[in-house]
């Protein structure tokens, strides 16, 4: 019986989501026949190494956010030589640093929103570009700290990036209208395209992780050529960063001026959520892969680069 250690929790802004992901993964891996232990990761590399003795056959990394999906914990696992799920050190670090990832995507011929990196203090003095625009932390996931600034918003500039997740520099991007899409890539193939329709606002942290607040339309009702283009963009993004295992690409399809519209890549998530409201399990089910089979595939395709 293969022993899988599931890393969960952590100490990022996405701790609660990671706990949910890890619990779902652990339960399903046990159902699939693995021997499972869980480790709530703290900010102590020596404690993590000690918790991984005796060494498991595989680590399932269910951490989200900084220190869990940005190459840090992956580096620890590389040092001790244990195979782990999801992307390796370099791909994880590249994907988590949004400005760097955008440069990699552009080099691969993918279209991303126009954007600039600006000091938080400078943004507090006034708009960095004409509204509407989007403000993001440069290295967070799950839409933590994302804010859309629209024309007419009664919002002082000092409050645009006031959250604790905005430290030092922030990313300001041109807002892309249209339809919100996401694509899961598993190995070397894209499974399906989902359209996301929040019942209010945009697909922010609350709409992602609160049941019933966002409608998942899979497969997305798109013209066939557009649907295929979304699949291709997701696979190209996955490969351009050197990702492995499962990733999820977030896109906007701007058809506000008619067809053909613009397919814009927003970012790629190398550690997508595995909670009951998460997108990857939904898309996998559409492709005929239930949750235990999905996480078992991830375990069997775990790797160590060292």
Q: Which helix (H) or strand (E) holds 19?
A: helix 15-31
- Among residues 140, 173, 204, 267, the one annotated as catalytic is 267
Q: Are strands 58-61 and 3-8 parallel, antiparallel or unpaired?
A: parallel
User: What is the dihedral sign for C-alpha 76, 78, 83, 87?
Assistant: positive
Closest listed residue to residue 139, CA positions, set 60, 71, 207, 239: 71
Query: Of 165, 248, 253, 261, which is the active-site residue?
Result: 248
Structure tokens at 100: 């760097």
The verdict on whether 213 is a catalytic residue reads: no
Catalytic residue from among 142, 207, 247, 278: 142
285 is catalytic: no
Closest listed residue to residue 97, CA positions, set 136, 130, 132? 136
Q: What is the DSSP letter of 304?
A: -
Burial class from Cβ neighbours inside 10 Å (0-12, 13-18, 19+) for residue 28 reads buried
Single out the catalytic residue among 84, 133, 203, 209: 209
Let me know if 40 is a catalytic residue: no
Query: Are 154 and 160 a contacting pair, CB within 8 Å?
Result: no
Q: Which of 250, 252, 261, 278 is flagged as catalytic?
A: 250
Catalytic site residue from 66, 70, 273, 278: 273
Count other Cβ atoms within 10 Å, centred on residue 172: 23
- In sequence order, the 6+-apart residues with CB closer than 8 A to the CB of 205 are 142, 143, 144, 146
Nearest to 37, CA basis, from 10, 8, 64: 8
| Dist CA 122 CA 136 (whole Å) | 15
14 belongs to the catalytic site: yes
CB 143 within 8 A of CB 205: yes
> Choosing from 12, 14, 84, 227, which is the catalytic residue?
14
* 227 is annotated as an active-site residue: no
Half-sphere exposure of 248 (CA within 13 A, CB side): 19
To 5 degrees, how large is the angle CA 82–CA 100–CA 283? 65
Q: Is 174 annotated in the active site?
A: no
Give catalytic residues, as residue numbers. Answer: 14, 142, 209, 248, 250, 267, 269, 273
């Amino acid at each position: 019986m293969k022993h899988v250690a599931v890393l969960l929790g952590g100490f990022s802004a996405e701790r609660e989501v990671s706990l949910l992901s890890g619990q779902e993964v652990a339960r399903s891996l046990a159902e699939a026949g693995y021997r499972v232990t869980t480790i709530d990761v703290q900010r102590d590399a020596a404690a993590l190494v000690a918790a991984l003795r005796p060494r498991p056959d595989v680590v399932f990394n269910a951490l989200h956010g900084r220190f869990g999906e940005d190459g840090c914990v992956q580096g620890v696992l590389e040092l001790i030589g244990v195979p782990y799920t999801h992307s390796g050190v370099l791909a994880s670090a590249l994907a988590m640093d949004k400005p760097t990832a955008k440069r990699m995507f552009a080099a691969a011929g993918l279209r991303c929103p126009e954007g600039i990196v600006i000091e938080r203090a400078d943004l507090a003095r006034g708009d960095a570009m004409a509204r509407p625009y989007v403000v993001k932390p440069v290295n967070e996931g799950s839409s933590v700290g994302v804010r859309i600034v629209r024309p007419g918003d009664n919002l002082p500039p000092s409050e645009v990036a006031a959250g604790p997740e905005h430290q030092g520099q922030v990313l300001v991007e041109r807002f892309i209208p249209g339809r919100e899409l996401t694509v899961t890539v598993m190995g070397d193939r894209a499974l399906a395209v989902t359209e996301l329709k929040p019942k209010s606002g945009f697909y922010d942290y609350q709409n992602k992780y609160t049941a019933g607040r966002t409608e998942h339309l899979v497969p997305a009702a798109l013209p066939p050529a557009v649907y295929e283009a979304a699949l291709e963009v997701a696979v190209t993004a996955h490969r351009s960063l050197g990702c492995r295992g499962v990733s999820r690409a977030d896109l906007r399809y701007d058809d506000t001026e008619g067809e053909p519209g613009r397919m814009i890549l927003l970012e790629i998530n190398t550690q997508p959520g595995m909670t009951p409201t998460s997108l990857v399990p939904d898309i996998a089910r559409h492709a005929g892969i239930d949750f235990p089979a999905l996480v078992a595939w991830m375990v069997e395709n775990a790797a160590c680069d060292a």
